Amino acid sequence: MSLSLRDVLRFQESGLLVVILVLGAFLTAFSGTVRAPLFQTGPDGTRERVFITDANGERTPAFVERNKFLNAQNLAQLAKDTSFIAIMAVGMAFVIISGGIDLSVGSIYALASVAGALVLNHFGPGGPAGDIGLAGSLAGAAVCLGTALACGLANGGLIVALRVHPFIVTLGTMAVFRGIAFVATRGQSVGGFPQSFRDFIRIETSQGLSVMPLLVMIAVTVVGWIVLSRLAAGRRVYAIGGNELASRFSGIRIERVKLGVYLMSALAAGVAALLSLGYYGGATSGDGQGYELSVIAAAVVGGASLAGGRGSALGVVLGALIIQMINSGIVILGIDQNYSQIIIGTVVIAAVVLDNLNSWLARRRLQQGAGH
Amino acid sequence: MSPTPQIEFRGIAKRFPGVLALDGVSFSVAPGSCHALIGENGAGKSTLGKILAGILTADAGTVLLEGRPIAPDSPLAARALGIAMVHQELAFCPNLSVAENLCLGDLPTRRGGWVDRAALHQRARALLAEIGADLDPARLVGSLSTAQEQLVQIAAAVGTGARVIVMDEPSSSLSAGETHELFRLVRRLLARGITLVYVSHRLEELFALCDTLTVLRDGRHVWTGPIRQTSPGEVVTRMIGRELRVETPAHLAQPPGEELLRVEGLHSPGRFSGIDLSLRAGEVVGLAGLVGAGRSETLQAIFGLDPRATGRVLVRGKPLPLGSVEAALGAGLGLLPEDRKRQGLVLGLTCRENVSLAALPNLSRFGWVRRSEERTRAQHFAGRLRVKAPSIESIVAGLSGGNQQKIALAKWLARSCDVLLIDEPTRGVDVGAKAEIYPLLDELAREGKAILVVSSELPELLGLCRRILVMRAGRLVGEVARADATEAALMRLMAGVETDRAA
């Protein structure tokens, strides 16, 4: 029993990696260069511009030519942009693998943001309680995640209790959650958070890269991967997505599993919301508009089957990265922004067609194999 | 035979994966007759009907309609030739009205594509009146009873000018009153000169309605003749007429152990009632009955899958809460369902994952699946059941029917169940795998498991079981000990034939 690379990366995911590398190479080759000011770290640890002194003794600022795509700043930006969608996509993977769909993730994100923001504002510098730092931040985080879980409980509870298709239930709650967020804030933006909270989430490396979203994304991916592929609970998610009736005949409590996946999806949206609170320092009820589509697109491009029973946490994260790379590529290549939705939509459909083709080939192989 | 037969079958053969459903069947149907087609479950009678009606096509042989060879390749083509079929399965769009369904192929329209509702309803009413059916054409088909839907099917058949109508088990889900109505309609159709091919395994019905009878067995033609020249007893003998007794299973040599399962007064509204049975360790007990007798429903209720079931189920003397699969699993029950692809397996998962599906609580610690243990156990049971698969990591969808069935069984062995409820152990399984599954069940019984087997194949039950319970129309109607069990005796109990009792 040897653990080969094949075991670690299943076929689907290595395919996605290839797509990412090809896309990256393509963007690097065609993006051209940009002139960026050159910095250096001084003896006292501060970053300062580099100047060149010419023969006449005139100091001119130094510039470097950098590839528009392949440079640290752009990659960091790409990673940050990917993290929010990727975190939510891991939650969505649970739902989609179980054979369901959650259209309300964007609204859960907004409601959780707003609820957390109201609490953080209360304990912020301008709030009635004054800036009480850590305790206030923790309270804000707890309310943000708690609100998300409550949303997930509502989704899962309605789906299980009413036996209504998740598409319908989450289409309804998508409007309801955002409506609540709007009513709670009267449509106003909420800011003024404790400084320590914002500083914590905006921790930067010496190069000025924001690492928190990236670290959280990695953590969420690892947790999602462990639950889906190593825990009994995850196995049950695949089982009910693959064949709900057979799972019931095997003694799996379908209702419990379904409730669980909608809680996971909502919790992931809550985590993304919490990050955004610290990162952007404010929230409005209009946040996360249209996220559900990006998240579902990431999951589908990442190999999760809307028919249920197939997909992985790593896959959907790679899917989110591909979507984000295309978005970023559109900017870098100077393509008109208005085309971006058309391109993304086409990519999603192409991914599904490719996936269908792939499973059709697999089925044919199986049938020929069973023929003898 | 003086007149040209209405229908003549010549050497019809049809093969499905793993089974030869029809093997050179030849006989003819006289014009205007009511021709009964009878045989055991799986004898090939429905297949033959479907070939005639263009739903299936024959692999070999010819069908002649009034002396001319025909080969309808679709129900529509058959209908154009004047042949229609009334089936058990839903043949209509339940969301449309009776009138719309009746005229679906040719909706009366006005200019601009508007449906002419008045003409539509008038035409539908005329069609229904033709067969004397009193139905509102505006009703949705989905709201009709089975009997009413059959009327609509017959009206559609007659309305399109069918001269031959195949009726596939038309009375199987009708009440006594509805059956009576059906008989009157059948007689009216015959009076109009329509030829009927009447597929059924209810003997008394055939003797009341039909004039000619054909017996099929294992896809072969056995006998055709006027119904006056035979008796129900003779027909039963012709239907089974096999001497297939495998060697005596070894578990019979041991006396049965303690009582593992006891069922008292199990009842489910509309499905079955008054079920009492007892199962001991080391025993294989059969449950025989015709399709629709309530056998699978009974097994599922014992396993906690029927929330409406009432009565008592005791495992090792301890009462089991009804309606809870988890409780049944906890008590050591396992159910191998009839439809393994829909109910038994998650086809997209691997053999390993399917085998461990029911045993996940035993195979995990703090929610973590112990993977090496899981692999060992899957390997062990797949090996024990001699599953032929490239590896335990193969996707189950790619295995043959027999190997899939073994994986479904391994799932319960991995969960170490003591009481196995097995529904149709060899359905859709080829002969070779059958020969492997029987000794396996024998071996499991020898190890002290209690096994309740539902099967439509009587030789299977006769070969395996210590005793056989018989169900008819939702009730247990008898128990036959191995020594007294013959196919004829079981068949009589199953079909409710009281004649030949004295013999």
- Given an 8 Å threshold on Cβ–Cβ distance, is B346 in contact with A231? no
CA pair distance A112, A96, nearest whole angstrom: 22
Q: Which of B21, B29, B60 is nearest to B198 (CA)?
A: B29
**Chain B positions in Cβ-Cβ contact with residue A11 (cut-off 8 Å):** none
CA pair distance A356, A93, nearest whole angstrom: 18
CA pair distance A209, A192, nearest whole angstrom: 23
Evaluate whether B233 touches B503 at the Cβ level (below 8 Å): yes
Q: Which of B95, B202, B89, B203 is nearest to B153 (CA)?
A: B89
Residue B119 pLDDT: 86
Extents of the domains making up chain B: 31-54+74-240, 260-495
DSSP per position, A330-353 = HHHTT--GGGHHHHHHHHHHHHHH
- Given an 8 Å threshold on Cβ–Cβ distance, is B361 in contact with A252? no
Q: Which of B498, B413, B417, B489 is nearest to B458 (CA)?
A: B489
The pLDDT of residue A182 is above 90: yes
Residue bearing tokens 């495992």: B315
- Given an 8 Å threshold on Cβ–Cβ distance, is A310 in contact with B348? yes
Q: Tell me if residue A70 falls in helix, strand or coil.
A: coil
Evaluate whether B282 touches B446 at the Cβ level (below 8 Å): yes
Evaluate whether B5 touches B28 at the Cβ level (below 8 Å): yes
Q: Which of B491, B467, B492, B471 is nearest to B480 (CA)?
A: B467
Query: In this complex, which of B328, B344, B360 lies closest to A232 when CB atoms are compared?
Result: B360
Query: In this complex, which of A250, A366, A367 lies closest to B358 when CB atoms are compared?
Result: A250
Structure tokens at B86: 């009334």
CA pair distance B166, B188, nearest whole angstrom: 15
Q: pLDDT tens across A79-107, in order?
A: 888 999 999 999 999 999 999 999 999 99
Q: What is the mean pLDDT of residues A336-347?
A: 84
Low-confidence ranges of chain B (pLDDT < 50): 1, 243-245, 499-503
The pLDDT of residue A216 is above 70: yes
**Residues 206-265 in A contacting B (C-alpha not used; CB under 8 Å):** 230-233, 235-236, 238-239, 242-243, 245-253
Evaluate whether B277 touches B459 at the Cβ level (below 8 Å): no
Least confident stretch, A64-68, A333-337, B81-85, B357-361: A64-68
Angle at A254 between CA A252 and CA A256, to 5 degrees: 100
Is the pLDDT higher at A39 or at B84? Answer: B84
**Chain B positions in Cβ-Cβ contact with residue A260 (cut-off 8 Å):** none
Evaluate whether A164 touches A158 at the Cβ level (below 8 Å): yes
> Does a structural domain hold residue A45?
no
DSSP per position, B219-281 = TEEEEEEEGGG--HHHHHHHHH-----PPPPGGGGSPP-SEEEEEEEEEETTTEEEEEEEEET
> Does a structural domain hold residue A49?
no
Minimal C-alpha gap between B424 and chain A (Å): 16
Minimal C-alpha gap between B304 and chain A (Å): 9
Give me the total of CB pairs closer than 8 Å, taking one residue from chain A and one from chain B. Answer: 81
What domain range is A161 assigned to? 11-16+74-361
Does the CB of A128 have a partner CB in chain B at under 8 Å? no
CA pair distance A329, A69, nearest whole angstrom: 8
The structural domain count of chain A equals: 1
Fold of the CATH domain B260-495? Rossmann fold (3.40.50)
Q: What is the mean pLDDT of residues A195-223?
A: 86
pLDDT-based confidence at A313, cuts 50/70/90? very high
The pLDDT of residue A211 is above 60: yes
Structure tokens at B107: 């909706």
Give the number of C-alpha atoms closer than 13 A to the C-alpha of residue B458, restricted to the C-beta side.
Answer: 29
The domain that contains A271 carries what CATH number? 1.10.3470
- Given an 8 Å threshold on Cβ–Cβ distance, is A232 in contact with B325? no
Q: Report the residue of chain B nearest A231, measured CA to CA.
A: B368
Evaluate whether B39 touches B215 at the Cβ level (below 8 Å): yes
Q: What are phi and psi of B330, to 5 degrees?
A: -60, -30
Residue B285, strand partner residues: B452, B467
Would residue A317 be called left, alpha or beta, if left means φ above 0 and alpha means ψ between -120 and 50 degrees? alpha
Q: pLDDT tens across A283-304, in order?
A: 999 999 989 989 999 999 998 9
Q: What is the mean pLDDT of chain A?
A: 86
Evaluate whether A150 touches A165 at the Cβ level (below 8 Å): no
Residue B432 pLDDT: 66
> Does a structural domain hold residue A35?
no
- Given an 8 Å threshold on Cβ–Cβ distance, is A239 in contact with B357? yes
Q: pLDDT tens across A223-265, in order?
A: 999 999 889 999 999 999 999 999 999 989 999 999 999 999 9
Q: Which are the contacts of B440, defined by CB distance < 8 A and separation ≥ 6? A: B385, B406, B409
A237, A242, A243, A247: CA torsion to nearest 10: -30
Query: In this complex, which of A232, A233, A369 lies closest to B398 when CB atoms are compared?
Result: A369
The pLDDT of residue A12 is above 80: no
Q: Which of A109, A107, A284 is nearest to A184 (CA)?
A: A284
- Given an 8 Å threshold on Cβ–Cβ distance, is B398 in contact with A232? no
Does the CB of B342 have a partner CB in chain A at under 8 Å? yes
Q: pLDDT tens across B2-21, in order?
A: 578 899 999 999 887 656 78
- Given an 8 Å threshold on Cβ–Cβ distance, is B411 in contact with A243? no
DSSP per position, A255-313 = HHHHHHHHHHHHHHHHHHHHHHHHHHS-B-TTTTTTHHHHHHHHHHHTT--TTSS---H
CA pair distance B40, B491, nearest whole angstrom: 9
Parallel, antiparallel, or unpaired: how do β-strands B34-38 and B195-199 relate? parallel
Residue A131 pLDDT: 67
> Does a structural domain hold residue A367?
no
Q: In what order do the strands lie in the sheet with B220-226?
A: B83-86, B164-168, B195-199, B34-38, B212-217, B220-226
- Given an 8 Å threshold on Cβ–Cβ distance, is B348 in contact with A309? yes
Q: Tell me if residue A191 falls in helix, strand or coil.
A: coil
The one-character DSSP state at A61 is: E
Q: Report the residue of chain A nearest B360, measured CA to CA.
A: A232
Does the CB of B432 have a partner CB in chain A at under 8 Å? no
Q: Tell me if residue A190 falls in helix, strand or coil.
A: strand
Name the helix (H) or strand (E) containing B476: strand B475-481
* Cα A291 from chain centroid (whole Å): 9
- Given an 8 Å threshold on Cβ–Cβ distance, is A243 in contact with B342? yes
Evaluate whether A317 touches A86 at the Cβ level (below 8 Å): yes
Structurally, at CATH architecture level, domain B31-54+74-240 sits in 3-Layer(aba) Sandwich (3.40)
Residue B11 pLDDT: 92
Residue B266 pLDDT: 94
Does the CB of B88 have a partner CB in chain A at under 8 Å? no
